[in-house]
Amino acid sequence: MRVFKFGGASVKDAEGIKNVYDVLQKVGYEDVLLVVSAMGKTTNALEVVIKDYFEKSSALKSSVQEVKKYHNQVLLDLFEDDKNPVFTAVQAHFVELEYFLSHNKSPNYDFVYDQVVSYGELISTTILAHFMNHMGIKTEWIDVRNFIKTDSNYRDATVDWDLTQKNISKNVKRKMLNITQGFLGSNENNFTTTLGREGSDYTAAIFAYCLNAESVTIWKDVPGVMNADPRYFENASLLNQISYREAIELAFYGATVIHPKTLQPLQKKEIPLYVKSFINPLLKGTSVSKGVNLEPYLPCFIVKRNQLLISLSSIDFSFIMEENISEIFSLFHQFKLKVNLIQNTAISFSVCVEDKFDNFDELNAILSKKFKVDFTPDVTLYTIRHFNDSAAQTVEQGKKVVLKQISTETMQIVTVE
């Protein structure tokens, strides 16, 4: 079985849905499992719904209506007959969503978040499955929450691999097209959980691992894995082939083409990963596989914007020792700040972090009791794998560098622009 993953950009409208059908016609769809994200910017729109819900805003009804309107337009563009059962199926999801919003009693933001945003994937896959059936491709729609089981760490759940393996290997049908949702799972009480933002790649890897899949293909709007984001760098080059190790390094430092968690399960079973273009599906794209001589021979640039640079120093000029660092990292973990760079001296400790859950103010109040805390918001972190002088100059030119760190293979530069 092959596993394909299509992200939100590939199914953002009716033309995108039709293009997925065209891609499958070209590359085959028998014995394939499709993992699909929410359509376009639906997750962002559902985050507005959540915001209005917690603020008890009068705009809640209209923000839900916006999500309905968007999907209804896609349905009208795809299906000539509004009596098609897909309309009823999609409406049933919205009824469930509105019922949850009117009856939920939990004040837990992360719990509510997962229950609400999940409807993006449930609806997109419902539409896609009905369209495939409408076009003559027999399809099995799978509710991923019955397959991927997790703990109850909402918004960043950990997979129960043993239970997930049993569910998938026993219940996924072979020799046909299966369609399921990325990003989602469920806990022991069958409440919806999510695997972290952009977790659909990881979902594909989970299914591939449990099914001993032939391969995983991530379909993107780019030709494959590039050595730099074309939005920020001119003359970005395609990496035709890279090793699991190099892909993991790139993902760890923030390359957005492949989700960081995706590679480990694939590497364990040596399942090849392909990153290809859904615009030109017959192009080779990038192959990620086992090998020691597959690293790129040119610098690879990774950009992470909207980072937070935090510098801690001891109030009494004492050394910052292991026990201090241990406590600091424990707090970072508690408040879910992702650390992307570390640098320390005898009496200071600097980190560049991603505060995706907006928890820094609360963390700062605790840190300030023991340390002098300086911080700079909205910095940009550049990472250059296989750097050289020319690559460093490209990044530093015209910018104020506030921190730089160099290792054998990698240079990291924090700038204020």
414: closest CA among 391, 390, 384, 387? 384
16 labelled binding-site residue: no
What is the predicted pLDDT for the residue at 182? 97
Domain identity same for 200 and 309: no
196 labelled binding-site residue: no
The neighbouring-strand residues paired with 406 are 411
Q: How far apart are CA 373 and CA 295, in angstroms?
A: 39
In a domain, 262, yes or no: no
Q: How far apart are CA 154 and CA 138, in angstroms?
A: 34
The lowest-confidence range among 66-80, 134-148, 342-356, 392-406 is 342-356
Domain identity same for 28 and 164: yes
pLDDT band at 400 (very low <50, low <70, confident <90, very high): very high
Phi-psi region of 149 (alpha: psi -120 to 50; beta: other; left: phi over 0): beta
In a domain, 31, yes or no: yes
Q: Indicate whether 254 pLDDT > 90.
A: no
The lowest-confidence range among 167-171, 196-200, 245-249, 368-372 is 196-200
For 108-263, strand residue ranges (E) read 139-141, 177-181, 184-186, 192-194, 215-220, 241-243
* Average pLDDT of the residues in 54-83: 96
Tell me phi and psi for residue 216, to 5 degrees.
-125, 135
pLDDT band at 359 (very low <50, low <70, confident <90, very high): very high
172: closest CA among 122, 210, 200? 210
Domain identity same for 61 and 164: yes
Q: How is residue 164 annotated by DSSP?
A: H
Domain boundary among 165, 187, 213: 213
Domain boundary among 146, 178, 213: 213
Tell me if 319 sits within 8 A of 313, measured CB to CB: no
231 labelled binding-site residue: yes
Domain identity same for 209 and 304: no
197 labelled binding-site residue: no
What is the predicted pLDDT for the residue at 295? 63
Residues listed for the chain: 417
* Average pLDDT of the residues in 233-243: 91
Domain identity same for 77 and 205: yes
Contacts of 144 (CB under 8 A, 6+ apart): 121, 180, 181, 182, 184, 185, 203
* Average pLDDT of the residues in 273-298: 88
Tell me if 340 sits within 8 A of 381, measured CB to CB: yes
Q: According to DSSP H, which parts of 194-282 are helical?
A: 200-211, 244-252, 263-268
Q: Indicate whether 345 pLDDT > 90.
A: no
Write the CATH number for 404. 3.30.2130.10
Domain identity same for 36 and 160: yes
6 labelled binding-site residue: yes
Domain boundary among 162, 179, 213: 213
Domain identity same for 10 and 136: yes
In a domain, 287, yes or no: no
What is the predicted pLDDT for the residue at 347? 81
* More confident position, 109 or 222: 109
Mean pLDDT of the chain: 94
Domain of residue 175: give its range. Answer: 2-213
In a domain, 45, yes or no: yes
Tell me if 384 sits within 8 A of 395, measured CB to CB: yes
Q: How far apart are CA 340 and CA 337, in angstroms?
A: 9
* Average pLDDT of the residues in 293-303: 82
What is the predicted pLDDT for the residue at 197? 67
In a domain, 285, yes or no: no
Write the CATH number for 28. 3.40.1160.10
pLDDT band at 293 (very low <50, low <70, confident <90, very high): low
Tell me if 276 sits within 8 A of 224, measured CB to CB: yes
In a domain, 248, yes or no: no
Q: Indicate whether 140 pLDDT > 90.
A: yes
In a domain, 10, yes or no: yes
Domain identity same for 197 and 73: yes
Q: Residue 61: count other Cβ atoms within 10 Å of its Cβ.
A: 12
Run of H or E residues at 85 = helix 85-103
Number of domains in the chain: 2
In a domain, 252, yes or no: no
**Tens digits of residue pLDDT in 9-40:** 999 999 999 999 999 999 999 999 999 999 99
pLDDT band at 402 (very low <50, low <70, confident <90, very high): very high
Domain identity same for 181 and 323: no
What is the predicted pLDDT for the residue at 235? 87
Phi-psi region of 183 (alpha: psi -120 to 50; beta: other; left: phi over 0): left
Mapping DSSP to helix (H, G, I), strand (E, B) and coil, where does residue 7 land?
A: coil
* Average pLDDT of the residues in 105-118: 98
